[in-house]
Amino acid sequence: MCSSHSIDRDKKSFGDNMPLNLDDIQGMHFFDPHIHMTSRTTDDYQAMVDAGIVAIIEPAFWLGQPRSGLSSYRDYYNSLIGWERFRSSQFGIKHYCTIGLNSREANNIELAEQVMELLPAFIYKEGVVGIGEIGFDDQTPAEDKYYRAQLELAKTASLPVQVHTPHRDKKQGTSRSMDIAIEHGLDPYSVIIDHNNEETVKEVLDRGFWAAFTIYPFTKMGNERMVEVVKQYGSERIMINSAADWGISDPLAVPKTAALMKAMGIDQKDIELVSYRNAITAFAQSGQIDENDFVASTQIDQSQKFEGNTILRGGQQPRVDKSSIIIK
């Protein structure tokens, strides 16, 4: 799927066959609590704001290839609280992040030890709303060790935890992730279990955790399956995200799923909870989210600079407006 699609094109198709009308969700606000904007384009930011996304959380994760040293982590974490946040602000989207050592790279023990020492320098920064995304990939002993160590860090810092659940052996890995969180004394209400499916959701909700669902195009949780989940389980402690990154993914997954829910007769209040409010409630436990920062009409000034750098290229005119959401 092309990441630079326009809203008009998206109106014509939804998934393979569902008609989608984003007009149905006009005026609604959305919060995507899991999206890797570092890997996305300015066209994505524009499409997101046009579709009603007002705030996002960018979890720290792996870059698709191994890092060669600690400085790569330092630069990456700095970009999450610096340049990427600035880039997002240039489109009127409030950007938060979670900071952590991802499960896959926990297996490089020498580097993981160094990262653990680096984390306290970042997790207390402004706009860091949790420790994440952490958890299991292959469910190795090293992953177990650093998941536990970061749960302790979250407890010390009183921050929510964003848990990546494994794609292989998902059900067992999800149960295990929750067992360990409880073993370490975390309140399930402060732990967001991500990448759920129909097989995991009941246990996650029954045990008092937040259940996040990633809507990937073509795979896993398609939007239509998500509608069924909300029909069956309601909207309490459930949230949806795009997890859009450098792979095939859709940064508009949250508003599109909201539109489908509307078309399928889900209550407006339930749509609002799963596509906006619940993510705020969960991650605001960090003390770092003030809804006033993104509910009021956004003022955009693309003539601003971040450490002397702008998102504009030679000859481009900055968009400085208070109402229009279209770049002239």
Binding map of Zn ion across residues 221-260, x = CB under 5 A, - = no contact: ----------------------x-----------------
**Are the C-beta atoms of 73 and 119 separated by less than 8 Å?**
no
Nearer to Zn ion, 102 or 190 (CB): 102
Kind plus residue range of the DSSP H or E element containing 48? helix 42-50
Binding map of Zn ion across residues 105-134, x = CB under 5 A, - = no contact: ------------------------------
Distances, alpha carbon 247 to alpha carbons 40, 46, 116, in Å? 10, 19, 27
**160: closest CA among 125, 127, 129, 195?**
129
61 binds Zn ion (CB under 5 A): yes
Residue 142 has phi, psi (to 5 degrees) of -65, -40
Provide, rounded to whole angstroms, the least separation between the CB of residue 245 and Zn ion: 6
Q: How many residues bind Zn ion (CB under 5 A)?
A: 2
Contacts of 103 (CB under 8 A, 6+ apart): 133, 134, 135, 136, 137, 138, 143, 146, 147, 164, 166
Structure tokens at 106: 């926990």
What is d(CA 127, CA 76) in angstroms, rounded to the nearest whole number? 15
Kind plus residue range of the DSSP H or E element containing 150? helix 141-157
Structure tokens at 207: 């045990």
Interface of this chain with Zn ion, residues 287 to 326, rule: CB under 5 A: none
Nearer to Zn ion, 243 or 300 (CB): 243
Provide, rounded to whole angstroms, the least separation between the CB of residue 59 and Zn ion: 5
Crossing angle of the two packed helices 109-118 and 70-81, in degrees rounded to 10: 40
Provide, rounded to whole angstroms, the least separation between the CB of residue 213 and Zn ion: 13
216 binds Zn ion (CB under 5 A): no
Nearer to Zn ion, 61 or 276 (CB): 61
Provide, rounded to whole angstroms, the least separation between the CB of residue 192 and Zn ion: 12
Nearer to Zn ion, 253 or 271 (CB): 253
Nearer to Zn ion, 38 or 288 (CB): 38
Provide, rounded to whole angstroms, the least separation between the CB of residue 106 and Zn ion: 15
Provide, rounded to whole angstroms, the least separation between the CB of residue 312 and Zn ion: 29
Nearer to Zn ion, 162 or 286 (CB): 162
Residues near Zn ion, by CB under 5 A? 61, 243
